Every structure is written in structure tokens, then in C-alpha cells.
Homo-oligomer: A and B are copies of this chain.
Amino acid sequence: MIARIDAERLDAADPLNPFRERFALPEGLVYLDGNSLGALPKGAVARVAAAVTREWGEGLVRSWTDAGWVDLPRRVGDRIARLVGARPGEVVCTDSTSVNVFKVLSAALALRPGRLTIVSEEGNFPTDLYVAEGLAELLARGHRLHLVAKGELLSALDTDTAVLLLTHVDYRTGERHDLPAVTRAAHEAGALVVWDLAHTAGAMPVELDAAGADFAVGCGYKYLCGGPGAPAFLYVAARHQEVFRQPLSGWFGHAAPFAFEPGYRPAPGISRALSGTPPILSMTALDAALDVILEADLSLVREKSEKLTSFFVEAVEQECGAAVRLVSPRDPVRRGSQVSFAYPDGYAVIQALVARGVVGDFRVPDVLRFGFAPLYVRFVDTWDAARALAEVLSSHAHERPEFRRRLAVT
């Protein structure tokens, strides 16, 4: 049997515990939805305010150079590179994850001209699939999106597979792919891999270069805590950069954007992945968030993440019994920084929890999803969430009519 005192002891021994103070979390709220929207780093408040009043208000157009706005996508990209095992010049911060999937997927298809299949997973995050569908339809050259179950991915790879498009950590179950092994298998089949690191970056180490990865994208507003709709990032392995072309060839990706030449000449390196003018205010918040994220040792972050999720699984199973069913892998090594349980009336349960100050998320059809951002989630939070869940279920609080409708955003 575990109890709240065990959580308190784990918090007291947690080397990352001081990081929580760097985030502005509402008093009394148990926030287990940092995999949807990361908490606000306190330092971002002053940084965004300065970007508004000093850089924009006083510096005006001069801030493109004087405040370094023009290099912000590369600077932020280089900082994110440190979190995903990439070298400087392999990552850039730009656009949304969806738009970046379009860029790297079209680039990857162009590198495999004879092959027409994009293999992905049935449960992959929908926007990646939608964008692949949009691209295939636009190309109208017979590309098809082949969706298979997780266990059949590797056997689905064949000589027609151009690209394997996968999300490293499943947004619903939290199951984590073996990125190096899958990359290797895809390469052996002659395919390229596009990794979506939305639920990876900032939550655990990942070594893109060491794994021989090709392309990756990721989200700025989950574990990177860059704020709502923060710009996303995009990785292109150094070896592909000379030949990498992407069709959203806006002026920020031009070799000489301010020469106003009539023809497009892609910038050398990762800069050619840029398109239009970047949203500086949103990107500044992400840059400020990285000040905190980069201070933490990622191996400690991962270690705490495994402990947090394991403690939560144990607490929920002890307090709720068989009412809920674990859908995340039981082995912590095989999951990301989240834990999901199935419950038939899951939607209403999440609403009832939110009403009690425990914020998790619901995912169709029946998934209670709880994310554990190791920099600001405490072990007592996991205990309190497990207890709240047990209370909701035992009191049938979720059966009240007010818990029937809500929107959710991952």
C-alpha cells in the first residue's frame, strides 16, 4: 500500500523539485495536462512584455536587427536541437507542426521518387495523417497513405515505401516507439522516416543524430512550455540539407531574403525550411521557456517522468481498483510522460475531475489522459489526482448532467 506520505517523501528527494517554482501554476490546481498546453514559465511574462513594449513599441522595425528577431527562428531552433540530439543548424523554429509535416513530408517524398507509399500508424495523431492526405491529393501522382496497426508497422515496409510517418509517443496511449530501431528498419527497407516529436521534446532525451534520423517535427507548446499555439520546430539531418527542398518557399527561406530577387534561391542549410515572417511574440515566449527547460538535466527529467507515471499507475490501481483499465504500457520504459486509462464514461469523468481542480484530458473513445511534465508536476499531485479519480468514481459525481459537453485540444 502506498499513501500520500510516500509521495511527499519522493518530492522531498526529487532533485528537480526546485524547478516548480519557475512556473506560474494556479494555487491548488493539479495540472496533468502539460502534454496539451504546458504551464507558463514565470520568466516568459517579463520577456513577452519586453518584446511588446521595448522591442516592438520602441525599437519598431529596427528590432529585426537590433533585437535579433531575424535570427530568432534559428536561435530557438539551435536551442531545441540540444533537447533532441541534434547539432546546431539542424533545427529551426517555424510555423505549426501541421505545416511543418507538409514541408518535411514533401521533401522526403522528393528524395524517394520511385516510391509511392507513406506508411503510418492507425492511431497516429490525426493532423499528421490529414496533412499527408492533403499532400498526396495535391501531388496526384498516386501516392497513398497506408495506415497499419502499431505491431505491423515494420512488416508493412516494402520497396514501395517512400516514407514512414510516425509520432514517437502516442498521443492517446503514451506508448513510445523505439526510435533508433524503427529508423534503422525503415532505412533497411529503403524508406525515410519523419518523426513527430510532439510528446517527446522536453519530456525525455531523444538522439536524432545518433539514430540516423532523417526528418522530424515537434510542438512548441506541450513539454516545451512555449504558450498556446507556440511555433513548432522542424529537424532536417545535416546529410539531407544540401538536397532538401520544400514547397512553402517563402522569403524567409530565401538565400538573400532582403535582396528581393524575383526567383527563389533556397538558403543554405536549415533556413530553407522557413516560409513567411515568423510570429515574434509567440516565438519569444517559447525562447523564454527554453531558458528553464534547458537548465534541467534531461536524464533526470526522464528518470522523474518514469517514477511519476509509475507512482500514478500504482496509486490509481490501488485507489480505484478494476474500475479503470490501464491503456498505457505498464513498463515505464515503453511509455512517454503520460498515463492513460480507459473508462466507458471517460468524458464525464474528466469534467468531474476538472471541477475538482484536477486537470487531465479526454480522448475519444474512452481515454482518460494524464500528462506528467516532470519540471512542475509533483508526486503529491499524482497522488491527489488518483484520490480525486477514486472519489469521482465511487461517488458517481461524473453522472451529473453538467459534465456532458466540452471541447478539448491536445
Residues of B within 8 Å of A159, CB to CB, are none
Cβ < 8 Å to B, chain A residues 272-294: 275-283, 285
Residues of B within 8 Å of A141, CB to CB, are 140
Known: A61-B33, A97-B276, A227-B56. A134 touches B259 (CB 8 A): no
8 Å CB contact of A249 from B133, B227, B409: B133
Which of A62, A139, A277, A285 has the most chain B CB within a 10 Å cutoff? A277
User: Any chain B CB within 8 A of the CB of A223?
Assistant: no
The answer to whether B276 and A135 have CB atoms under 8 Å apart is: no
The answer to whether B279 and A61 have CB atoms under 8 Å apart is: no
When chains A and B are docked, how far (Å) is the Cα of A231 from the Cα of B70? 16
The answer to whether B258 and A408 have CB atoms under 8 Å apart is: yes
Known: A248-B102, A249-B133, A281-B285. A64 touches B127 (CB 8 A): no
The answer to whether B282 and A279 have CB atoms under 8 Å apart is: yes
User: In the complex, which residue of chain B has the Cβ closest to the Cβ of A254?
Assistant: B130
The answer to whether B276 and A279 have CB atoms under 8 Å apart is: no
8 Å CB contact of A228 from B56, B147, B247: B56
Interchain nearest-CB distance for A167 vs B (Å): 13
Known: A133-B249, A406-B65, A409-B277. A37 touches B53 (CB 8 A): no
When chains A and B are docked, how far (Å) is the Cα of A106 from the Cα of B264? 18
User: Any chain B CB within 8 A of the CB of A191?
Assistant: no
- A46-75 CB mask vs B (1 if < 8 Å, else 0) is 001101110111101111110001100000
Known: A97-B276, A229-B280, A279-B229. A70 touches B407 (CB 8 A): yes
8 Å CB contact of A135 from B65, B247, B253, B260: B247
The answer to whether A251 and B98 have CB atoms under 8 Å apart is: yes
- A116-150 CB mask vs B (1 if < 8 Å, else 0) is 00000010011101110111011111000001000
- For chain A, give the interface size range: 35 or more
The answer to whether B102 and A69 have CB atoms under 8 Å apart is: no
The answer to whether B97 and A277 have CB atoms under 8 Å apart is: yes
Residues of B within 8 Å of A122, CB to CB, are 262
8 Å CB contact of A354 from B62, B126, B227, B259: B62
Interchain nearest-CB distance for A338 vs B (Å): 14
- A355-390 CB mask vs B (1 if < 8 Å, else 0) is 000010101100000000000000000000000000
Query: Could you list 26 A-B pairs, sorted by A, with CB under 8 Å?
Result: A24-B58, A26-B57, A26-B60, A36-B61, A39-B60, A45-B53, A49-B52, A51-B228, A60-B359, A61-B409, A62-B354, A64-B409, A65-B407, A95-B95, A98-B276, A99-B276, A127-B276, A131-B249, A133-B249, A134-B247, A138-B139, A139-B139, A228-B279, A231-B279, A279-B282, A281-B285
Give 9 nearest A-B pairs by CB, closest first.
Answer: A96-B276, A98-B250, A98-B276, A134-B249, A228-B280, A127-B251, A279-B282, A40-B57, A138-B247
Beyond the given pairs A63-B228, A96-B277, A99-B250, 15 more chain A to chain B contacts, judged by CB atoms under 8 angstroms and listed by A's residue number, are A45-B52, A48-B52, A96-B275, A98-B250, A102-B247, A122-B262, A126-B254, A130-B253, A131-B275, A134-B249, A229-B278, A258-B407, A277-B409, A279-B279, A282-B282
Interface residues, chain A, with chain B CB atoms under 8 Å away:
24, 26, 29, 31, 33, 36-37, 39-40, 44-45, 48-49, 51-53, 55-58, 60-65, 69-70, 95-99, 102, 106, 122, 125-127, 129-131, 133-135, 137-141, 147, 221, 227-232, 245-254, 258-264, 275-283, 285, 354, 359, 361, 363-364, 406-409
